[in-house]
Amino acid sequence: TGTGKELVARTVHEKSPRASGPFIALNCAAIPAELIESELFGHEKGSFTGAANRHIGKFEQAEHGSLFLDEIGDMPLAMQAKLLRVLEEGEVERIGATKTVHVDVRVIVATHRNLQALVHDGKFRQDLFHRIYVFPLVLPPLRERRDDIPALVEHFATQVCAQNSWRLVKFTADAVNALQNYSWPGNVRELRNMIERLMLLAPRNSGEIALDTVEAVLMPSAETRSGNGSTASGTLADRVESFERETILAELKRTGFNVTKLAKTLGLERSHLYKKAEQLGIDVRKERRDDELKQD
């Protein structure tokens, strides 16, 4: 998991004749069994308790585009039969409706499970397996495809900047090389989170993220960097979060809880600092009050 299945599915969509159509994604494992039919096919107003309005399902939302069904191996057997009918007939029927609706959708599916083993155990329909097993792609963990990392770094950097209305920040070649040399146990998901952390920590006026910024995050304690201590335990994400939290708390005290001064010290904008503190569960006002009580 976390290998970047949705990113690959989105790329397939964007490189296809359906690129002008919508790309809709649904994680089958994240939807309760009793709601997944409504999510996929939709429902009419009053079709069941709580159906106050008509709901258009994912298939109709993806008309002339692509529908990505992640973790299809977790789909209930009863739902698998209904999905098979839609794939074969190209029509969906909303819950409570009396007519079917034609849909023109490319369906891309993914799973971390062994579907053939599930078929053998009677947990996945054999007919559906053969219907979807047309052009399989095996996505190895990120550590086995390090050559993908530069393109992923550029993609995620662009994405993070767009989402936060930041000026685009580039990574130096040395910084990218350092990221390539890491094993990424959390796969693409960990890389994406790491890119956002790095961009939050990077000086806003530099326009680039250099090797020293990456090393500071990949080696989350001064003791570890100098070799004078044992390496912290936990995943990279846990270590980075711990390092960032300890750094901000220490600098808060050193600057007398002056957020403007702290932001300048860390090379961050105030808004970025507040966002980072919130992500790390740091309540600046509470920390200030607690420190004042200790002084008393």
pLDDT at 274: 82
What is the mean pLDDT of the segment spanning 32-60?
91
Enumerate the β-bridge partners of residue 26. 69
- The three-class DSSP label of residue 95 is strand
| Segment 108-143, tens digit of pLDDT | 999 989 999 999 999 999 999 999 999 998 888 888
Give all strands (DSSP E) within the chain, no chain letters.
Answer: 23-27, 42-43, 55-56, 66-70, 91-92, 101-102, 106-109, 170-171, 208-209
Band of residue 223 on the pLDDT scale cut at 50, 70, 90: very low
Q: Which structure tokens are listed for 2?
A: 């976390």
pLDDT at 177: 93
Helix boundaries (H) for 44-97 = 58-61, 77-89
pLDDT at 268: 77
Least confident of 116-120, 168-172, 181-185, 262-266: 262-266
Where a domain ends, among 107, 133, 159? 133
Domain around 182:
142-218
Where a domain ends, among 99, 133, 167? 133
Considering the domain architecture, whether residues 177 and 269 belong to the same structural domain is answered as no
Mean per-residue pLDDT over the chain, rounded: 85
- State the Cα–Cα distance between residues 46 and 279, nearest whole angstrom: 40
Band of residue 225 on the pLDDT scale cut at 50, 70, 90: very low
Considering the domain architecture, whether residues 151 and 114 belong to the same structural domain is answered as no
Q: Which structure tokens are listed for 105?
A: 């959708």
pLDDT at 230: 41
Considering the domain architecture, whether residues 56 and 116 belong to the same structural domain is answered as yes
Considering the domain architecture, whether residues 248 and 214 belong to the same structural domain is answered as no
CA-wise closest residue to 247 among 269, 216, 292, 212: 216
Which domain CATH number covers 129?
A: 3.40.50.300
Considering the domain architecture, whether residues 154 and 201 belong to the same structural domain is answered as yes
